[in-house]
Structure 1
Amino acid sequence: MRCPLPLLALPLALALFTASASVSATVLSFDDLGTDGYVPLNYGGLDWSGSSWFQYAGEQAPFAAHSGDRRATLGWDGSADSSAIRFTTASSFTGAWFAGYDGVSVSIDLYSGNTRVASTATLNLSDSPVFLASNYAGLVDRIVFRSNDPANFVMDDLTFASAVPEPGKAALTLAGLGLVAFVARRRRPV
């Protein structure tokens, strides 16, 4: 028995659609920022405008960077007023690396809209960077950092994945759907 061509095109279209829905991870290491100072307002496609994150380079124990030389910290300006970072598009937040003084702890609340949808575990810090995973697979639009001593820890390699498909993958999806439509139209009886 011969398999109709539209049935062969359907798996191809589904494979193309799946490829378009995949996302790639973004890791913000701060190493591409040239001079010490506040994290730029739209750094890495995120909105840092409501926060007081400061990034810097250079050796300074116990504030070790996980990779490279730069890392970010909160409140060095004397105002740990806000730690929130907003995603410009809903994203999946993976986590970040932290180091700091013994006795300092960090946790992160994840929000979608105005609703807190998850919180990380509380991480007790040391001078060796440790990864704090979100352990939440859903999409968020804001993360808020909590610490018992906000000026005495650093963050590095913040990792997230945007839910927006890349333009090339969206084109693959359209091509797959066009192929299905073309094959279905050709096979229609006249």
Structure 2
Amino acid sequence: MRIDVLQGDLTTRAVDAIVNAANSSLLGGGGVDGAIHRAAGGELLEACRELRRMELPDGLPVGAAVATPAYRLPARWVIHTVGPNRHAGQIDPALLASCFRESLMVAAGLGARSVAFPAISAGIYGWDSRQVAEVAFDAVRSFSSSSSGSAAWESPLELVEFVLFSEETTSVFRAAFESPGLA
């Protein structure tokens, strides 16, 4: 599985699935979540409302992931995951790792060959970008090694992109990716 780190706009990526750093309500918000909802159009909000009505009446739990169609985005699917909020006392890196792992599982279950992630929980949720990058790369590599060569199941995923909006976060992710023990 190839991993790429890019600076850009996640909503413009022509991949099979993009990951939304959602809030538990799934009803849109600021940052990445708001950008994805605006770019996808009102149908995404309706799909999320339907998920809330039928499957997730209490919202999406932290660390879990669920998919919807991507509507007006170039991707086929949006995988929504709720990252832990350090400001709310959610400081366990396992919760953050779960966001990446569960999103990869959902993507693989959809048959996606490519998926693009933002820096889940960095920024307004208070996680340090370097820690997010390290947790993300570890989760992707663990997923890749556990699903490759398995007689029971092999992931169709070939490409994982980290698409980061700011130059600063992109630099942090690139440095983490290239550091010994991670690359």
TM-score by length of 1: 0.25
Q: Which of the two has greater helix per residue? A: 2
TM-score by length of 2: 0.25
Q: Which of the two has greater strand per residue? A: 1
